[in-house]
Chains A and B, each alone.
Chain A
Amino acid sequence: MTAELHPQHDFEFETQDIFVNMGPQHPSTHGVFRMVLEIDGEVVRNVVPYIGYLHRGAEKLCETMDYRQGIGFMDRTEYLAAFNAELSFVMAVEKLMDIEVPERSQWIRMILCELNRLSSHFMFTGAFGVDVGVFGTAFTYSFRERETIQDLFEEVTGDRMMYAYFRPGGLAWDVTENFVQRVHEVLKSVRQGIKDMDGLLTDNEIFRARTQGVGVISAEDAIDWGMSGPSLRASGVPLDIRRDEPYLRYSEIDFDVITGANGDVFDRYHCRVREMRESVKIVEQCLERLTQGPILPDRMPRMLRTPPGEVYLRTEAPRGEYGVYMVSNGGNRPWRLKVRSACLSNLQALRDMTIGHYVADAVIILGSIDIVLSEVDR
């Protein structure tokens, strides 16, 4: 790479590395993230990331709240995929208390989580387009789709982003009567949205030239850095918790685990877009299987008390593994709660991916990991 960037001359320029500070207030950092780039001309020689600007101590706060109150904090850690974040938390409580969730609730949870994955990936494709330089159309189209999905979420839960809808044992209340019909409407719109993304970005010659071969990370390195989700699968590692350790009713659903071949920026983008089609497939199958019935088990206690023990519960969120490590000492609140953030581990690999590339590429490499700083900092 560097050899191409520095053609051989008969003489040598005296150059000096300079430091460029990007962030914490920078449009390309998707939140409050700061990285100090050491650059030689246009080429990045070193990257030092700084995080923590959004640290609110959600883990400590959850140790002072009972289990139902803690659900709201999970929404606020991962606000672009709040259903997935809630799911890990409530499933950890269910695992500790050994609660069986009614079938209807499980299907509704799956539908909402997959729709949330779609809305999160639409957010990614739109914002990533802006990072690459496709400002405007792709961004507004993807936000149009995200908005239709969020309208549905608002009808079901009463809130656009901070749902607090899942409860240990099931759901807060049943979905609206026209839920199935509304999901079908949303899916119809989403299918068109994915096609639009393909037309505007995936098949775009300039977009491909800009993203292919940039920010490559090998499968071994990605595993060693603890990456997960589409960012890991783009390097060719078929790690998907929905398939490998099925939770809810994913084992009864037919879907493919999407992997990439090269582990570059384009693959990380393309994996997400292809994954959206799989999510649509999953939601369609869930709708067919959705049954009537109760949404909470009989005899749920008013005050939840977990027996002493610990559990590390992980689910496949849009950005990767969202893990909740919950230690209980028998009380009505967790003794220790740790949120395993997928973005934090993915972000560790940023330095490896960026060194040797242009400054402009540092922006799209960061964009391709799809970080949510609020989840990184918690």
Chain B
Amino acid sequence: MTTEDTAPAPDLSATIWAEVDRALSGVTVEPEAGVLDLIVHIPRNEVVRGLRALKNDAALHFNYLRCLTAVDNEADGIDVVYHLYSIDKKHNLTVKTTLPVDDLRVDTATTVWRAANWLERETAEMFGVRFNNHPDPRTLLMPEDMDDTFPLRKDHPLAEIQVLQGEGLAFPGDAAGNEEGA
């Protein structure tokens, strides 16, 4: 979701933006005020470097990966979203990186937190995002042979099989019904 068109600069004084900006020096970063937590956008070739800097920074110390997932924004590409938390400092941060539709690749975050392992496997199979150098790139929830359909993408139909006719199954777009057999 890109909302930074002509909007005035958000007021981030109440957030941890100053600290995050300092920790992420050398990384391209763009802040956005979230409903609960501060959101920062980082380009995909720098995102893992940024995440590692956020984890290793003494004042921020984001040592806990709450959640990792993706959002399909159709033509705007797929956002990979990281929800970070610091157990000792007790603050939150949302990191987002946008991947273009024709090249869904980003480096793995398993080198920063091991918790990213299964979450990335799930994101990979559901959205078709490829995590470079992932230590265990198998499917997680889906069957092993379902490596070319990505159910959580917006262009994936909710139900492939729509009509049950007689003994065969009719698929959408299959005008002759069950000609090929199911």
Q: What is the interface of chain A, defined by CB distance below 8 A to chain B?
A: 51-52, 55, 57, 59-61, 64, 95-96, 223-226, 237, 239, 244-245, 308-314, 321, 323, 325, 327, 329, 335-336, 338, 340, 344-345, 347-348, 377-378
Contacts and interface: CB of A to CB of B under 8 A. Distances in A.
Interface stretch (B11-19, B64-72, B100-108): B64-72
A336 B83 contact: no
Q: Is the interface of B mostly helix, strand, loop or mixed?
A: loop
A59 B127 CA distance: 13
B141 A55 contact: yes
Contacts of B142: 52, 55
Interface stretch (B32-40, B163-171, B173-181): B32-40
A244 B90 contact: yes
B117 interface: yes
B1 interface: yes
Given A64-B158, A323-B83, A310 B66 contact: no
Given A52-B142, A223-B87, A312-B94, A323 B66 contact: yes
B1 A327 contact: yes
Contacts of A96: 35
B81 interface: yes
B48 interface: no
B72 A336 contact: yes
Nearest to A238: B87
Interface core residue of A239, A312, A323, A327 (most chain B CB under 10 Å): A312
Interface in B103-132: 113-115, 117-119
A377 B122 CA distance: 10
9 contacts: A55-B141, A55-B142, A64-B158, A310-B34, A312-B83, A335-B71, A336-B72, A340-B67, A345-B115
A336 B34 contact: no
B140 interface: yes
A226 B34 contact: no
Contacts of A311: 34-36
B114 A225 contact: yes
B23 interface: no
A164 B29 CA distance: 41
B35 A239 contact: no
B77 interface: no
A225 B151 CA distance: 26
Contact of A310 (B35, B87, B151): B35
Interface in B1-15: 1, 3
Contact of B67 (A64, A323, A335): A323
A336 B123 CA distance: 13
Nearest to B39: A310
A60 B140 contact: no
A102 B117 CA distance: 41
B152 interface: yes
Given A325-B67, A327-B71, A348-B118, A95 B36 contact: yes
B3 to A, nearest CB: 7
B83 A325 contact: yes
Nearest to B117: A348
Given A310-B94, A311-B35, 13 more contacts: A51-B140, A95-B35, A226-B66, A237-B87, A309-B34, A312-B67, A314-B66, A323-B83, A325-B81, A335-B71, A345-B118, A347-B118, A348-B117
A310 B95 CA distance: 13
A205 B113 CA distance: 38
B63 interface: yes
A311 B94 CA distance: 10
| CB-based closest 9 A-B pairs | A226-B115, A52-B141, A340-B67, A338-B69, A311-B35, A55-B141, A336-B71, A224-B114, A312-B83
Contacts of B119: 226, 344-345
Given A60-B152, A225-B115, A325-B67, A239 B87 contact: yes
